[in-house]
Structure 1
């Protein structure tokens, strides 16, 4: 009696496997195939799409909606010059207090993908730049540079290197289309060394 039950179970199982295999072959014959990677090697990862501000999907204070690998794929990630802080799962402007205790600022060393809080020797809202305390996004730290080039520049965080530098406002967001150092994608290893996704 037991052997008959086993045989019947095997028969049902084999019929199920045959039915499944027939449907799989039918799907392949109809041409429905799901690629595991992009077959167009000449296409850029963003398909020439640019990041956008999306108030419905992303934190508008710290994130932009970046294009992903597929046409319909978009991902919220840190704005340029912002750092992804894993403990809070949020983005904060580099060289600001962010999630840090009073008297500290959020920075990212060259050897790490994880930002850390470090002591700020300057007053709140200022950072050390060229041996003096200057206001981030202010002009006072860049007066000598302004004299040389003849126009106003501001002390900003370079979005490519995350180093403090004097820049024209127009040049501040040059890595917006790429995978910026310090971003969520950078933290999770989704960028190559050149900052591309």
Structure 2
């Protein structure tokens, strides 16, 4: 009889524990959703007056004007030693004859030897091609007529054939400036691979 009561008490406590854990998880999920809601409709901006080269102005997770932060534009990499952002697969802060790359399993990019030994060039099957070159004979990409050129895919940070980006206007100043096409402002996401925030561990 005592064993049955003891077993019943243990089962009741176990059920109460499960319900409590479920409620706690539900509350945490709600908090995360609120933070995401604060970002709704807030897009990164091109603001050369406020952000250094190769950076965009990203919204924070609070609905305040002063929570915006400068961080790397898509297809660029944050290099902690100089606290700057540089285009991937370009010389950037590296020595001449090197290029800055970010390997899949890494957070911090590194300088490696560029087989072409020339900035802005990338080797494919023993031939060096220039990034962004639209000349047919010097462009390794298919669909040349659709303006596909050799470049860095801003989504996965790999060398690929990319469509030339459309320039977009900034929304930060009275005299709108155009974001250079290599900024890929339409694809910009906060805390993307290669960003300063991610490298500094400030992304949740």
TM bracket, shorter-chain basis: 0.5 to 0.7
1:85 is matched with 79
Moved more, 93-102 or 41-50: 41-50
1:123 deviates by: 3.7
1:112 is matched with 106
Matched, 1:146 2:143: yes
1:51 is matched with 44
Count of residue pairs brought into register by the alignment: 152
2:22 is matched with none
4+ aligned runs moved over 6 Å, structure 1 = none
Instruction: Flag the 1:105–1:40 CA change in 2: closer, same or farther, 3 A.
Output: closer
1:191 deviates by: 4.1
Say which structure is richer in helix.
2
1:158 is matched with 153
**Matched-pair contact (CA < 8 Å) for 2:96–2:117:** no
Distance across 2 between alignment mates of 1:128 and 1:63: 27
Deviations 1:110-151 (A, max 9, x none): 1111110000010413112354211112233434x126xx52
Q: 2:59 aligns with which of 62, 67, 80?
A: 67
Instruction: Flag the 1:41–1:56 CA change in 2: closer, same or farther, 3 A.
Output: same
1:179 deviates by: 2.9
Unaligned runs of 5+ in 1: 1-37, 193-197
Deviations 1:51-86 (A, max 9, x none): 112233211x21110011112210100111110000
Distance across 2 between alignment mates of 1:123 and 1:45: 46
Unaligned runs of 5+ in 2: 1-29, 167-181
Q: Which has the larger radius of gyration?
A: 1
Deviations 1:15-37 (A, max 9, x none): xxxxxxxxxxxxxxxxxxxxxxx
